[in-house]
Amino acid sequence: MQYQLSIDPVTENLIWTPRSDGSLEDVKIQKIKQLNIFCNIAILAGFTSDALGSSNTYDFDIDAQINLGGMLNAITAGLVSEPVIWKASGQPQAHTFVQFKTVFGAGLAHKNINIGKYWTLKAQVEAATTTEQVNAIVW
């Protein structure tokens, strides 16, 4: 199934409209795949944290997630000392252990919020009884 991509001018949300008249089940499968892609994009886009006293952005691509977890493990195991130098808003910045744990928590919350949104929208897709209902579900 192919989709036409458009952008809602008010919300700036991406709108994917099926181009074919596939079965309801096909439309649902494609919508769930689309939602999964959007979920991953949202997670990998990064997050913000005010752990340093003001809002900073943090990378959250796959490598950044692995590195965050590794550093948290190193802190927990007593393998590193303060400060932890970590990129915040594109610049290396010193973080205390408490600040780093706050950043880690913000990243985890960011990921869980997006995964929760995916599961909620997926359930709506699965419960839909018409193609129109499926198409009305947007990330």
Q: What digits encode the pLDDT tens for the residues 61-90?
A: 999 999 999 999 999 999 999 999 999 999
- The chain-wide mean pLDDT, for the chain, equals 93
Q: Which residues contact 60 (CB under 8 A, 6 or more apart)?
A: 43, 44, 45, 46, 47, 68, 107, 110, 111
Dihedral sign for Cα 56, 60, 64, 67, please.
Answer: positive
Q: What percent of the chain shows pLDDT beyond 90?
A: 84
Residues 2, 105 contacting (CB under 8 angstroms) = no
Tell me the pLDDT band of 110, cut-offs 50, 70 and 90. Answer: very high
For 115-129, what is the mean pLDDT?
A: 99
For 56-65, what is the mean pLDDT?
A: 98
Rounded Cα distance between 43 and 106, Å, is 12
Q: Would you say residue 1 has pLDDT above 60?
A: no
